[in-house]
Amino acid sequence: MDTLVIKGGKRLKGTVEIGGAKNAALPIMAAALLAPGEHRIGNVPHLRDISTMGRLLANLGAGFHLESNTALLDCSKVKNYAAPYELVSTMRASVLVLGPLLARLGKAKVSLPGGCAIGARPINLHLMGFEKMGASITLESGYIFVKAKKLRGAQINFDIPTVTGTENIMMAAALAEGKTVIENAAREPEVVDLADALKSMGARIIGAGESVIEIDGVSRLRPLRHEVIPDRIETGTFMAAAGITGGEVTIKRCNLQHLDSVINKLKDTGMKIRPLKTGVKVTGPKRPASVNAKTMPYPGFPTDMQAQLMAMMCVAEGTSVISESIFENRFMHVAELRRMGADIIIEGGMATVRGVRKLKGAPLMATDLRASASLIVAALAAEGESTIHRIYHLDRGYERIEEKLRKLGADVRRGKE
């Protein structure tokens, strides 16, 4: 198994380019199932989750090929309607095939995703939505079986704004009979990107990016042509890495409009963030100032940036309180950060971080994707060497991260257990 070995203490300097957003590319790939023909999706990052989705689509009968950063998908012969346990268990986003399969084939079967490291993460809201659209739902040997002769438009009100839930319903509704209205929809940029991709297929959607989305079903869709938006979480992670090392980094191919809450928070830590014509220049302070943060659905501070901000706060001047309100178990990086000398106390969904002057390198265990990112951020600023184990979590969501960090002057190499 690969490890990442980081010698901390180098100020990051230089230019980095951001890849396409994993969490936009995944639903857009699933959306290809909605229409026969050859689909073309640009700016798709080379990540393990993307190849897992590719394998899943191939398993369902689609042709999948990633050429440079363009995904070519041939969905002329989609016949299979079951997403097997082996794939769903390695990637929860596999549930995104439910909506499109149900709309195209009238049935879909997906292994019920178990809990995962960051929380229980049920899909009851996705299923409630399908049911409202006329689908029947049964549980068979650990598989959710969703079936509908004809999907009808419906009024769907989510108790909690769910990102993949909103995406699943939007995809199913694109081919349903009549109008679907999603209330309390997720407003994340990835939802908007999926809506744009669906519109390129001929779907009729208004309101994506707002709390109410209306989808007027059409009888058929054409193959999609779309460029995936830049990854806002990768952008934010590089900002945090620059911030904690007192670095000066130009970030290219990013979209700052998707990062308002993150930028405002990082500015409060003393970072300078200056938009450029083609990206942004970020400069870290000598030592970050402490800030408080609470994760919220978009446009609030993203849960996917909570761990990276916490890494910064470990060496900040003062005490910061970080609350996690989206997932119930997303503090697994805390135990690892403590092993580096961080002073963090957790009470329920709240972490109190008392900044220390320096973290010390240590052997570390990655537990999930964003926790791994936070360990990298911390290790870049720590005194001495850190070895991060189980970095396969990282490879799910960050494209060539060690190469990008090395280009910025970090002392990072991939090792073996």
Between 227 and 368, name the residue whose CB sits nearer to ligand EPU. Answer: 368
| The pair of three-digit structure tokens given for residue 190, joined into one six-digit string | 């990835």
Tell me: is residue 216 an annotated ligand-binding position: no
Tell me: is residue 264 an annotated ligand-binding position: no
**Binding of ligand EPU at residue 89 (CB under 6 A)?**
no
| Nearest Cα residue to 222 out of 35, 28, 33, 31 | 35
Of residues 13, 46, 121, 360, which one binds ligand EPU by CB under 6 A?
A: 121
Residues 238/249, Cβ–Cβ less than 8 Å: yes
Q: How far apart are CA 48 and CA 63, in angstroms?
A: 18
Note if 116 is an active site residue: yes
Query: Nearest distance from residue 63's CB to ligand EPU, in Å?
Result: 23
Provide the CA 240 distance to its chain's centre, in angstroms. Answer: 17
Among the candidate windows 102-110, 121-129, 201-209, 386-394, which touches ligand EPU by CB under 6 A? Answer: 121-129
Residues 251/262, Cβ–Cβ less than 8 Å: no
Tell me: is residue 159 an annotated ligand-binding position: no
Which residues, 6 or more positions from 211, have their beta carbon under 8 angstroms from its beta carbon? 161, 183, 184, 185, 187
Burial zone of 25 (CB within 10 Å; 0-12 exposed, 13-18 middle, 19+ buried): buried
Tell me: is residue 292 an annotated ligand-binding position: no
**Binding of ligand EPU at residue 404 (CB under 6 A)?**
no
Between 4 and 91, name the residue whose CB sits nearer to ligand EPU. Answer: 91
Of residues 70, 124, 138, 319, which one binds ligand EPU by CB under 6 A?
A: 124
Tell me: is residue 354 an annotated ligand-binding position: no
159: phi then psi, degrees, rounded to nearest 5? -65, -40
Query: Nearest distance from residue 303's CB to ligand EPU, in Å?
Result: 5
**Binding of ligand EPU at residue 52 (CB under 6 A)?**
no
Strands 225-227, 63-67: pairing kind: unpaired
Strands 143-147, 107-111: pairing kind: antiparallel
**Binding of ligand EPU at residue 312 (CB under 6 A)?**
no
Footprint (CB under 6 A) of ligand EPU, residues 318-337: 326-327
| The pair of three-digit structure tokens given for residue 201, joined into one six-digit string | 């297929």
Return binding residues for phosphoenolpyruvate. Answer: 22-23
Residues lying near ligand EPU in the complex (CB under 6 A): 23, 26, 93, 119, 121-126, 160, 162-165, 186, 190, 303-304, 326-327, 369-370, 397
